[in-house]
A and B are shown apart, each in its own frame.
Chain A
Amino acid sequence: MEFEPLDDFEEKLKRSFERWPAPPELKRRLMENRRRRKERPRWFALPREVLVAVSLSLGVGVFAALYSGIASYQHEQQREGEAARQQVLTALRITDHALDNINKQLAAHGRASQE
Protein backbone atom coordinates (compact mmCIF):
# COMPACT_ATOMS: atom_id res chain seq x y z
CA MET A 1 0.00 0.00 0.00
CA GLU A 2 1.40 3.34 -1.04
CA PHE A 3 1.17 6.37 1.26
CA GLU A 4 1.42 9.91 0.22
CA PRO A 5 4.34 11.68 1.80
CA LEU A 6 3.48 12.96 5.34
CA ASP A 7 3.88 16.54 6.11
CA ASP A 8 5.93 17.67 9.16
CA PHE A 9 3.07 17.71 11.62
CA GLU A 10 1.92 14.23 10.90
CA GLU A 11 5.49 13.05 11.12
CA LYS A 12 5.90 14.55 14.59
CA LEU A 13 2.58 13.12 15.71
CA LYS A 14 3.53 9.72 14.56
CA ARG A 15 6.83 9.91 16.40
CA SER A 16 5.24 10.99 19.61
CA PHE A 17 2.95 7.96 19.58
CA GLU A 18 5.80 5.61 19.17
CA ARG A 19 6.69 3.54 22.28
CA TRP A 20 10.16 4.01 23.65
CA PRO A 21 11.77 1.75 26.20
CA ALA A 22 12.18 3.27 29.69
CA PRO A 23 15.70 4.29 30.65
CA PRO A 24 17.38 1.49 32.57
CA GLU A 25 17.81 3.51 35.84
CA LEU A 26 14.19 4.81 35.97
CA LYS A 27 12.84 1.93 38.05
CA ARG A 28 15.71 2.27 40.51
CA ARG A 29 15.13 6.00 40.87
CA LEU A 30 11.41 5.57 41.49
CA MET A 31 12.00 2.87 44.13
CA GLU A 32 14.59 5.07 45.81
CA ASN A 33 12.15 8.01 46.00
CA ARG A 34 9.45 5.78 47.47
CA ARG A 35 11.80 4.47 50.13
CA ARG A 36 12.84 8.02 51.09
CA ARG A 37 9.18 9.15 51.44
CA LYS A 38 8.49 6.24 53.78
CA GLU A 39 11.49 7.08 55.94
CA ARG A 40 10.48 10.79 56.34
CA PRO A 41 9.05 11.34 59.88
CA ARG A 42 5.36 12.36 60.10
CA TRP A 43 3.84 14.10 63.16
CA PHE A 44 0.66 12.09 62.91
CA ALA A 45 2.65 8.95 63.03
CA LEU A 46 3.63 9.71 66.65
CA PRO A 47 2.43 7.33 69.33
CA ARG A 48 -1.11 7.94 70.57
CA GLU A 49 0.08 8.72 74.15
CA VAL A 50 2.35 11.47 72.90
CA LEU A 51 -0.47 12.94 70.79
CA VAL A 52 -2.85 12.90 73.79
CA ALA A 53 -0.24 14.53 76.02
CA VAL A 54 0.44 17.25 73.45
CA SER A 55 -3.30 17.89 72.96
CA LEU A 56 -3.88 18.06 76.73
CA SER A 57 -0.98 20.45 77.17
CA LEU A 58 -2.33 22.67 74.42
CA GLY A 59 -5.80 22.59 76.00
CA VAL A 60 -4.45 23.47 79.45
CA GLY A 61 -2.36 26.27 77.92
CA VAL A 62 -5.35 27.77 76.11
CA PHE A 63 -7.50 27.51 79.26
CA ALA A 64 -4.78 29.13 81.39
CA ALA A 65 -4.40 31.96 78.86
CA LEU A 66 -8.17 32.54 78.79
CA TYR A 67 -8.47 32.42 82.58
CA SER A 68 -5.55 34.78 82.98
CA GLY A 69 -7.05 37.18 80.41
CA ILE A 70 -10.45 37.20 82.13
CA ALA A 71 -8.88 37.62 85.58
CA SER A 72 -6.74 40.46 84.31
CA TYR A 73 -9.79 42.16 82.72
CA GLN A 74 -11.79 41.81 85.95
CA HIS A 75 -8.89 43.18 87.99
CA GLU A 76 -8.62 46.17 85.63
CA GLN A 77 -12.39 46.78 85.87
CA GLN A 78 -12.16 46.63 89.68
CA ARG A 79 -9.25 49.08 89.68
CA GLU A 80 -11.05 51.52 87.37
CA GLY A 81 -14.24 51.16 89.41
CA GLU A 82 -12.37 51.92 92.64
CA ALA A 83 -10.78 55.00 91.04
CA ALA A 84 -14.23 56.14 89.83
CA ARG A 85 -15.66 55.52 93.31
CA GLN A 86 -12.99 57.72 94.88
CA GLN A 87 -13.77 60.43 92.34
CA VAL A 88 -17.48 60.22 93.15
CA LEU A 89 -16.72 60.63 96.85
CA THR A 90 -14.47 63.62 96.12
CA ALA A 91 -17.24 65.08 93.93
CA LEU A 92 -19.70 64.71 96.80
CA ARG A 93 -17.30 66.41 99.22
CA ILE A 94 -16.81 69.36 96.85
CA THR A 95 -20.58 69.63 96.27
CA ASP A 96 -21.19 69.61 100.00
CA HIS A 97 -18.47 72.22 100.52
CA ALA A 98 -19.98 74.46 97.83
CA LEU A 99 -23.44 74.12 99.38
CA ASP A 100 -22.05 74.99 102.81
CA ASN A 101 -20.45 78.11 101.34
CA ILE A 102 -23.69 79.08 99.63
CA ASN A 103 -25.58 78.67 102.91
CA LYS A 104 -23.03 80.86 104.65
CA GLN A 105 -23.28 83.51 101.93
CA LEU A 106 -27.07 83.50 102.08
CA ALA A 107 -27.04 83.69 105.87
CA ALA A 108 -24.63 86.62 105.76
CA HIS A 109 -26.75 88.28 103.08
CA GLY A 110 -29.88 87.79 105.22
CA ARG A 111 -28.18 89.29 108.27
CA ALA A 112 -26.96 92.26 106.25
CA SER A 113 -30.43 92.97 104.85
CA GLN A 114 -31.95 92.77 108.39
CA GLU A 115 -29.46 95.32 109.66
Chain B
Amino acid sequence: MKNRFITFIFAAVALAMPALAQTAQLPVSSPIEKELAARASEATEITLDKKMLSLASRVMDGKDTYDDATRQLIENLDGIYIRNYEFDKEGLFTAEQVEQLRKNYETGEWSSLVRNRDRKTGESSDIMVKLVNGESHGLFILNVEPKEISMVLVLGPVQMSDLKKVKSIVKGTVKGRGGAEKSIPTKGKSRP
Protein backbone atom coordinates (compact mmCIF):
# COMPACT_ATOMS: atom_id res chain seq x y z
CA MET B 1 0.00 0.00 0.00
CA LYS B 2 2.77 2.41 1.00
CA ASN B 3 4.75 1.55 -2.15
CA ARG B 4 1.70 2.19 -4.30
CA PHE B 5 1.24 5.59 -2.70
CA ILE B 6 4.88 6.53 -3.33
CA THR B 7 4.59 5.34 -6.95
CA PHE B 8 1.47 7.47 -7.36
CA ILE B 9 3.25 10.55 -5.98
CA PHE B 10 6.22 10.03 -8.33
CA ALA B 11 3.89 9.54 -11.29
CA ALA B 12 1.96 12.71 -10.44
CA VAL B 13 5.18 14.73 -10.14
CA ALA B 14 6.52 13.28 -13.39
CA LEU B 15 3.29 14.20 -15.19
CA ALA B 16 3.27 17.69 -13.71
CA MET B 17 6.90 18.46 -14.67
CA PRO B 18 6.31 19.19 -18.38
CA ALA B 19 3.38 21.44 -17.52
CA LEU B 20 5.51 23.36 -15.03
CA ALA B 21 8.40 23.59 -17.46
CA GLN B 22 6.15 25.07 -20.14
CA THR B 23 5.47 28.18 -18.04
CA ALA B 24 8.45 30.30 -18.93
CA GLN B 25 9.99 32.45 -16.24
CA LEU B 26 10.64 36.14 -16.66
CA PRO B 27 14.24 37.18 -16.05
CA VAL B 28 15.29 39.15 -13.00
CA SER B 29 16.87 42.57 -13.46
CA SER B 30 20.55 42.16 -14.30
CA PRO B 31 23.31 44.39 -12.86
CA ILE B 32 23.77 45.86 -16.37
CA GLU B 33 20.14 46.99 -16.38
CA LYS B 34 20.63 48.62 -12.99
CA GLU B 35 23.72 50.46 -14.27
CA LEU B 36 21.84 51.66 -17.34
CA ALA B 37 18.87 52.76 -15.25
CA ALA B 38 21.19 54.74 -12.98
CA ARG B 39 22.68 56.62 -15.93
CA ALA B 40 19.45 57.11 -17.88
CA SER B 41 17.53 60.35 -17.76
CA GLU B 42 14.33 58.34 -18.12
CA ALA B 43 13.99 54.67 -17.30
CA THR B 44 10.86 52.63 -17.80
CA GLU B 45 10.87 49.14 -16.37
CA ILE B 46 7.81 46.95 -16.67
CA THR B 47 7.58 43.36 -15.49
CA LEU B 48 4.22 41.70 -15.94
CA ASP B 49 3.94 38.04 -15.07
CA LYS B 50 1.01 35.79 -15.96
CA LYS B 51 -0.89 36.80 -12.83
CA MET B 52 -0.54 40.51 -13.58
CA LEU B 53 -1.54 39.97 -17.21
CA SER B 54 -4.58 38.08 -16.00
CA LEU B 55 -5.46 40.97 -13.66
CA ALA B 56 -5.10 43.43 -16.53
CA SER B 57 -7.27 41.24 -18.77
CA ARG B 58 -10.00 41.21 -16.14
CA VAL B 59 -10.35 44.99 -16.11
CA MET B 60 -10.30 45.12 -19.92
CA ASP B 61 -14.02 44.57 -20.03
CA GLY B 62 -14.50 45.38 -23.68
CA LYS B 63 -16.01 48.81 -23.09
CA ASP B 64 -13.23 50.27 -25.23
CA THR B 65 -12.23 48.88 -28.59
CA TYR B 66 -8.54 48.84 -27.81
CA ASP B 67 -9.33 46.98 -24.59
CA ASP B 68 -10.79 44.11 -26.64
CA ALA B 69 -7.80 43.97 -28.97
CA THR B 70 -5.30 44.28 -26.12
CA ARG B 71 -7.01 41.55 -24.10
CA GLN B 72 -6.89 39.17 -27.07
CA LEU B 73 -3.22 40.00 -27.48
CA ILE B 74 -2.17 39.36 -23.89
CA GLU B 75 -4.57 36.72 -22.60
CA ASN B 76 -2.39 33.71 -23.52
CA LEU B 77 0.96 35.26 -22.73
CA ASP B 78 3.19 34.07 -19.88
CA GLY B 79 4.84 37.41 -19.27
CA ILE B 80 6.03 40.75 -20.58
CA TYR B 81 9.38 42.26 -19.61
CA ILE B 82 10.17 45.77 -20.84
CA ARG B 83 13.22 47.91 -20.24
CA ASN B 84 13.49 51.32 -21.88
CA TYR B 85 16.33 53.70 -21.08
CA GLU B 86 16.62 57.20 -22.51
CA PHE B 87 19.84 59.15 -22.07
CA ASP B 88 20.51 62.89 -22.16
CA LYS B 89 23.60 62.52 -24.31
CA GLU B 90 25.44 59.96 -26.37
CA GLY B 91 28.14 57.72 -24.97
CA LEU B 92 26.49 56.94 -21.64
CA PHE B 93 26.50 53.21 -22.35
CA THR B 94 29.01 50.91 -24.00
CA ALA B 95 28.80 48.30 -26.73
CA GLU B 96 29.83 45.72 -24.13
CA GLN B 97 26.81 46.55 -21.99
CA VAL B 98 24.54 46.13 -25.00
CA GLU B 99 26.26 42.84 -25.79
CA GLN B 100 25.58 41.67 -22.22
CA LEU B 101 21.87 42.39 -22.69
CA ARG B 102 21.86 40.50 -25.97
CA LYS B 103 23.90 37.45 -24.99
CA ASN B 104 21.17 35.83 -22.87
CA TYR B 105 19.17 35.35 -26.04
CA GLU B 106 21.96 34.16 -28.30
CA THR B 107 21.25 30.55 -27.43
CA GLY B 108 20.04 27.62 -29.48
CA GLU B 109 16.37 28.08 -28.72
CA TRP B 110 16.29 31.70 -29.91
CA SER B 111 16.32 32.32 -33.68
CA SER B 112 17.28 35.67 -35.12
CA LEU B 113 14.75 37.25 -37.46
CA VAL B 114 16.27 40.70 -37.73
CA ARG B 115 19.88 41.60 -37.01
CA ASN B 116 21.16 45.02 -37.90
CA ARG B 117 24.43 46.65 -36.84
CA ASP B 118 25.69 50.10 -37.75
CA ARG B 119 29.25 50.48 -36.54
CA LYS B 120 29.38 54.13 -37.55
CA THR B 121 26.47 55.31 -35.44
CA GLY B 122 26.47 52.49 -32.89
CA GLU B 123 22.83 51.74 -33.69
CA SER B 124 21.72 48.13 -33.68
CA SER B 125 18.53 46.15 -33.70
CA ASP B 126 17.56 42.56 -33.09
CA ILE B 127 14.32 40.66 -33.30
CA MET B 128 14.48 37.07 -32.11
CA VAL B 129 11.88 34.38 -31.61
CA LYS B 130 11.98 31.47 -29.23
CA LEU B 131 11.04 28.32 -31.07
CA VAL B 132 9.95 25.16 -29.26
CA ASN B 133 8.98 22.26 -31.53
CA GLY B 134 8.51 24.70 -34.38
CA GLU B 135 6.12 26.89 -32.38
CA SER B 136 6.86 30.39 -31.28
CA HIS B 137 7.07 30.67 -27.50
CA GLY B 138 8.68 34.04 -27.09
CA LEU B 139 9.80 37.23 -28.76
CA PHE B 140 12.80 39.39 -27.96
CA ILE B 141 13.33 42.87 -29.38
CA LEU B 142 16.42 44.93 -28.69
CA ASN B 143 16.74 48.35 -30.27
CA VAL B 144 19.79 50.46 -29.57
CA GLU B 145 19.91 54.11 -30.60
CA PRO B 146 22.71 56.53 -29.70
CA LYS B 147 20.63 57.90 -26.81
CA GLU B 148 18.14 55.13 -26.17
CA ILE B 149 17.96 51.42 -25.46
CA SER B 150 14.68 49.53 -25.73
CA MET B 151 14.38 45.91 -24.72
CA VAL B 152 11.15 43.97 -25.08
CA LEU B 153 10.73 40.37 -24.01
CA VAL B 154 7.41 38.64 -24.50
CA LEU B 155 7.02 35.07 -23.27
CA GLY B 156 4.28 32.77 -24.43
CA PRO B 157 2.68 32.00 -27.77
CA VAL B 158 3.33 35.08 -29.87
CA GLN B 159 3.11 35.49 -33.62
CA MET B 160 4.76 38.06 -35.87
CA SER B 161 1.28 39.15 -36.89
CA ASP B 162 0.77 40.23 -33.26
CA LEU B 163 3.34 42.97 -33.83
CA LYS B 164 1.05 44.44 -36.45
CA LYS B 165 -1.76 44.32 -33.89
CA VAL B 166 0.42 46.21 -31.42
CA LYS B 167 0.87 48.96 -33.98
CA SER B 168 -2.86 48.99 -34.70
CA ILE B 169 -3.70 49.31 -31.02
CA VAL B 170 -1.12 51.98 -30.29
CA LYS B 171 -1.81 54.00 -33.40
CA GLY B 172 -5.50 53.70 -32.70
CA THR B 173 -6.51 52.21 -36.00
CA VAL B 174 -8.60 49.45 -34.45
CA LYS B 175 -12.13 49.96 -35.66
CA GLY B 176 -14.76 50.25 -32.96
CA ARG B 177 -17.95 48.22 -32.94
CA GLY B 178 -19.81 51.14 -34.42
CA GLY B 179 -17.08 51.74 -36.96
CA ALA B 180 -15.60 54.62 -34.98
CA GLU B 181 -11.88 54.71 -34.48
CA LYS B 182 -10.46 54.95 -31.00
CA SER B 183 -6.96 55.35 -29.74
CA ILE B 184 -5.12 54.78 -26.51
CA PRO B 185 -5.21 57.94 -24.42
CA THR B 186 -1.79 59.54 -24.68
CA LYS B 187 -0.40 59.54 -21.19
CA GLY B 188 3.15 59.86 -20.04
CA LYS B 189 5.17 56.71 -19.69
CA SER B 190 4.77 55.02 -16.36
CA ARG B 191 7.77 55.35 -14.12
CA PRO B 192 8.36 52.57 -11.66
Contacts and interface: CB of A to CB of B under 8 A. Distances in A.
Nearest to A101: B143
A90 B70 CA distance: 12
B83 to A, nearest CB: 9
A105 B123 CA distance: 8
Per DSSP, are chain B's interface residues mostly helix, strand or loop, or mixed? mixed
> Which 5 residue pairs across A and B have the least CB separation, nearest first?
A81-B59, A84-B56, A98-B150, A96-B170, A102-B125
Nearest to A99: B163
A75 interface: no
Contacts of B52: 84, 87
Size category of the A interface is: 20 to 34
B150 A97 contact: yes
Contact of B125 (A81, A94, A97, A105): A105
Given A102-B114, A102-B116, A88 B44 contact: no
Contacts of A84: 48, 52-53, 55-56, 59
A92 B143 CA distance: 15
Size category of the B interface is: 35 or more
A94 B83 CA distance: 9
Contacts of B60: 85
B82 A91 contact: yes
Nearest to B49: A84
Interface in B62-115: 70, 73-74, 80, 82, 84, 114
B184 interface: yes
A98 B152 CA distance: 8
B34 interface: no
A77 B163 CA distance: 29
B190 interface: yes
Nearest to B69: A92
B142 to A, nearest CB: 8
Contact of B114 (A78, A89, A90, A106): A106
Contacts of B58: 77, 81
